[in-house]
Amino acid sequence: MSIARRSPSPIRAKGDGLRPSRNRDARRNRRRGLMAALFVVVFMAGGGIGLAWLPSMMATAPAYAQSAGSGASGAQVPRMVSLGADEVNVRTGPGIRFPVKWVFRRKLMPLEVVAEYETWRKVRDWEGAEGWVHRAMLNGRATVLVTRPEITIRRQPEATAPAVARLASGMVARLLGCDEGWCQVEVQGYEGWTPRQALWGVEPGGR
């Protein structure tokens, strides 16, 4: 039996040096103070005018929350995707002006798209951590992540079938398809079947 086992490299790393400077924060706070003062002046001068002005400001804020269905791109949300690069910045919001929360360091790692805003996608990883990445950093290749300490892939979707290889926790495999409780995967040239419960990234009903 061949062995395809290795210690996976770190998947997430915290953002470094990409947060706004203190001077930028100070300028932002001053702008917020001026906006608050302007609202008070308008409200004091015109009574209901201030109340009418506040909702109009709130309406300009982008809505990030999204229910199941079609996203901004017309694609299904939620859905599974995978990373298209070795390093991908994950931000607190949909835009480069938002600070980096962490950096994904695993190409083809599966992620779940849970929301869309223009060209940005809010993704969730296997541990439930969420953040925003640009759509250019994602692709539609079907992949899965091994979540158990070790699994065996077999020649047929049967527990008694000959073993092909063993995969360690955290390894990423290409998903070829699923049949009932088994999924066919390929990793490092080894191809076979493994129980579906041992994998993360399989969409409901398989794909």
Q: What CA–CA distance (Å, rounded) separates 194 from 196?
A: 6
Q: Are 106 and 18 in contact (CB under 8 A)?
A: no
CATH code for the domain defined by 144-200: 2.30.30.40
Which CATH superfamily hosts domain 66-136? Answer: SH3 Domains (2.30.30.40)
Give the pLDDT of residue 6.
46
Give the pLDDT of residue 74.
84
Query: Is residue 95 packed enough to be buried (19+ CB in 10 Å), middle (13-18) or exposed (0-12)?
Result: middle
Give the pLDDT of residue 62.
52
pLDDT per position in the chain (207 positions), as tens? 544 444 455 566 665 433 333 344 444 454 455 444 433 333 334 444 333 333 333 333 355 555 557 667 888 999 999 999 999 999 999 999 999 999 999 999 999 999 999 999 999 999 999 999 999 999 999 999 999 999 999 999 999 999 999 999 999 999 999 998 999 999 999 999 999 999 999 988 665
Q: Are 152 and 171 in contact (CB under 8 A)?
A: no
